[in-house]
Amino acid sequence: MLEPMHYELRVIGIVESPLVDLAAAPAQGDEGELDAWIAMESQYLPAMRDLVVGERVIVLTWLDRGDRDVLEVHPRGDPTRPRLGVFSTRSPDRPNPIGLHEVEILAIDGPRLRVRNLEAISGTPVLDVKPVLGPVGTR
Amino acid sequence: MLEPMHYELRVIGIVESPLVDLAAAPAQGDEGELDAWIAMESQYLPAMRDLVVGERVIVLTWLDRGDRDVLEVHPRGDPTRPRLGVFSTRSPDRPNPIGLHEVEILAIDGPRLRVRNLEAISGTPVLDVKPVLGPVGTR
């Protein structure tokens, strides 16, 4: 039933972080303090213009080391735990390895965003930034 | 600094909904009751196997009618409201028009998921399903 559809992602920025080792990455950001820069491509400055320090946003990343052909995993990589379908986990191994990261903006320097506690290794491509929705109807 | 990177999305399913008109789409799902089916490709059944009725999940879609070259919009399409950078809005017009939809699973029928209140028009490609995270460390 599905027509062949080809959608290409645009990398809008890159994570710059002290975290370079996948094995050291915390499984969820709130388990380890880890601040990072997001270096956005300067062409996206108009899209960033209303971001403010102190705001919480959702950063979408492309977890480019994920295995896109894996459909079941041991949660958190622990082989003693029963395997789960990947749609019941946040594993980076999944058909489209898109990461969701709710973070606080700590600083803004031109096209660079400093954010608190981003659980993605340095070099991870960034796809989008969205507001955490507040009360309905506010934007 | 960015190397040219090309990441292609895999369409894993399609939204089937009575909502066929973009103009009738509620801007956020909790403003209008709108249940829909997600027809997944059967090859992804192993990834779905631990989803359960009553669970809340985050569905990621590709809002394929979004204009990828728009960087500023009037919020909610209202020309009387000042323009905002798209990263401060949930507009489908953005460089990577990925939609995030937190929904409740109402029914599961093989590769088909019935979900409550999905604000995406019929035919919208589905990219991923993720758990809404509970307490840290649970998966």
Gap between the Cα atoms of B61 and B66, Å rounded = 12
Cα B72 vs. chain centroid, distance in angstroms?
Answer: 21
Residue pair B56/B121 in contact by the 8 Å Cβ criterion: no
Q: How many residues does chain A have?
A: 139
Residues of B in contact with A91 (CB under 8 A): none
For residue A66, the distance in angstroms to the closest alpha carbon of chain B comes to: 12
Residue A33: pLDDT band (50, 70, 90) is: low
Contacts of B7 in chain A (CB under 8 A): 8-9, 11, 62, 64, 125
> Is pLDDT at A108 greater than 60 in this prediction?
yes
Q: How confident is the model at residue A30 (pLDDT cuts 50, 70, 90)?
A: low
Residue A13 amino acid letter = G
> Rounded distance, CA B11 to CA A42, Å?
30
Query: What are the residues whose beta carbons fall under 8 Å from the beta carbon of A119, sequence distance 6 or more?
Result: A19, A25, A26, A27, A28, A29, A32, A34, A99, A101
| DSSP state, residue B86 | G
pLDDT band of A135, cuts 50, 70, 90: very low
Question: Using CB atoms and an 8 Å cut-off, which of residues 93-122 of chain B contact chain A?
Answer: 94-96, 98, 100
Pair B43, A70: CB distance under 8 Å: no
Nearest by CB to B28, from A10, A98, A133: name it. Answer: A133
Residue B129, pLDDT score: 98
What are φ and ψ of residue B4, in 5° steps?
A: -65, 125
The stretches of chain A forming alpha helices (DSSP H) are 45-48
- Shortest distance between the Cα of A73 and any Cα of chain B, in A, equals 9
pLDDT of residue B137: 44
Three-state DSSP class for A86?
A: helix
Determine, for residues A128 and B98 on separate chains, whether the beta-carbon distance falls below 8 Å: yes
Whether A129 sits inside 8 A of B51 (CB atoms) is: no
Q: Which chain B residue has its CA at the smallest distance from A11's CA? A: B5
- Mean pLDDT throughout A111-120? 95
Under the banding of pLDDT at 50, 70 and 90, the label for residue A86 is: very high
A58–B contact, CB cutoff 8 A: yes
Using 70 as the pLDDT threshold, list the residues of chain B that sit under it: 1-4, 22, 24-33, 134-139
Q: What is the pLDDT of residues A43-72, one digit of tens each?
A: 999 999 999 999 999 999 999 999 999 999
